[in-house]
Amino acid sequence: MEAKKITEDLSVSPQLSVADVAQARAAGFRSIMINRPDGEEADQPSHSAIETAARDAGMSVAYVPVAPGKYGSGTIETFQRELAVLPKPTVGYCKTGTRTTTLWALAETGGRPEDEIIGIAKAAGYDVTAALRSRAGDDAPTARPQGARHDVVIVGAGAGGIAAAASMLARKSGLDIAIIDPADAHYYQPGWTLVGRGVFSAAETKRDMASLIPNGVKWIKEKVATFEPEAKTVTLESGRSIGYGKLVVAPGLKLNWAGIEGLEETLGKNGVTSNYRYDLAPYTWELVKGFRSGTALFTQPPMPIKCAGAPQKAMYLSCDQWRNAGTLGNTKVEFLNAGPALFGVADYVPPLMEYVKAYGIDLSFGHNLVRIDGPAKRAWFKATPKEGEPQIVERSFDMIHVTPPQSAPDFIRSSPLANEAGWVDVDPATLRHTRYPDVYSLGDAMGASNAKTAAAARKQAPVVAENLLRDMGAISMSETAVYNGYGSCPLTVERGKVILAEFGYGGKRIPSFPKWFIDDLKPSKAAWFLKEKVLPKIYWDAMLKGREPMCKPEHKALEAAE
């Protein structure tokens, strides 16, 4: 628990766990104010669970839920009334503490000077300035801090978001575009596979975000809390509201490390690693180059995940290193895949199986990692056979490369933009939202059935740019740009050779090169050169700059596409 003092009677904290309740009681708190609605995140304790623990500890509880930015006068009055009768001192919480602090600040406006309220909140680490100075009054249905309005607002400054902004500006200069993203750094994530093999350093895959935001684009360095597509606004976690003419949603996806019991505590030690994180990919290489004998496990969770080939890329490159070092014969390698097949596009399975056999890899399908004990070097999988009941099976390991379960970000899954699976609900061809025509999406958060890869985002960016600008009237087009589901997965089967898998919707192969140059069904030195030398330059110097070689969208008549 990280409670920060607001007044003698009230402190605020980020989300409390059930275990935190006992700590709060031991710290002298006599009551809890809960301001976070249930269900914002999958692993969030319910208010009733916190209330039960509090009652057991002899504490009182009030539940006044408020969504980010929705500080209605009725909610403020309820907060004020409930807080007044709670035994003191009280600890209040939401996701980060911002909502509780803002409710307190708005409730105090009649009794304290505004500057004093702002100063108290600031001392605790919270900025309530915008909330106070844009409050519409006690009779307003919602008192939301208002921000600017932009012709185009892009949520996410990853591969998809920046590529979309650059693509629009390449077609129409001077656009009023804002990008919302709190991150200081931007990563070339496809490079982490090669960091895990010692080909790249981690530093080569990282750049300052400020250096990549396109010129003329407004960078709003905050987190998004909610969407209100009917009102054409995005609400930030600070409570500020940003209006838009068109919205592009590209926040990427969530790596749910907490979805595997015991994983977070042991990552980066005890032989437990993952190329899905910048700081862990170097540890993969450290483990691989020092491995002499034992059992190496490689896992893959249920789909969808970003770069579906990445789990086995790490495995092939590790085996290649061990073969070169003469230690492969002393190593038991097993690929435990929650899915039913080695790769989702059947045409690429035979050439991959040649490497599986050459490296002596055991394949276990229908095996999903659910628990890990790093110090004991044990892992447990839910094994689901084709026939019969699922069962929990145990494996020992000396090294394990884990791919975490993945989902859309929580603020997407809980938003009006989401489909039943939690991803942004778009038309798979136009990438326009199925219910809100002013909303587009691309990248990993987008809900079409394509592979979630950087190559996919590179092809999606010009589709979004052309269709959005046409809808704005900024460019003239008689046809609609359409996305064919293209994705690419350079399968690094050994150092120096790649099977360049390229495919679209339905698993249809879409090779970009003539067979005499790169045969996509065979391991290729040319494809390795592309992976190591060419694609990083295309990413940094073309894709993120609005230069789009080999990315011209397909087009269809408006009636056919829509």
User: How far is 266 from 297, CA to CA, in rounded Å?
Assistant: 15
What is the 3 state secondary structure string of 453-495? CHHHHHHHHHHHHHHHHHHHCCCCCCEEEECCCCEEEEEEEEC
Quickly count: other Cβ atoms within 10 Å of residue 162's Cβ: 27
Quickly count: other Cβ atoms within 10 Å of residue 43's Cβ: 10
Task: Please indicate whether residue 489 is annotated as part of the active site.
Answer: yes
Burial of 503 (0-12, 13-18, 19+ CB in 10 A): buried
268: three-class secondary structure by DSSP: coil
Contacts of 385 (CB under 8 A, 6+ apart): 366
User: How far is 277 from 296, CA to CA, in rounded Å?
Assistant: 19
Residue with tokens 């090779």: 511
Identify the active-site residue in 94, 307, 319, 551. Answer: 307
Identify the active-site residue in 94, 319, 489, 551. Answer: 489
Contacts of 312 (CB under 8 A, 6+ apart): 298, 300, 335, 342, 343, 352, 491
* CA-based nearest residue to 449, from 423, 472, 470, 471: 423
**What is the phi/psi pair of residue 249, to 5°?**
-105, 115
Report, as residue numbers or ranges, the catalytic residues. Answer: 307, 489
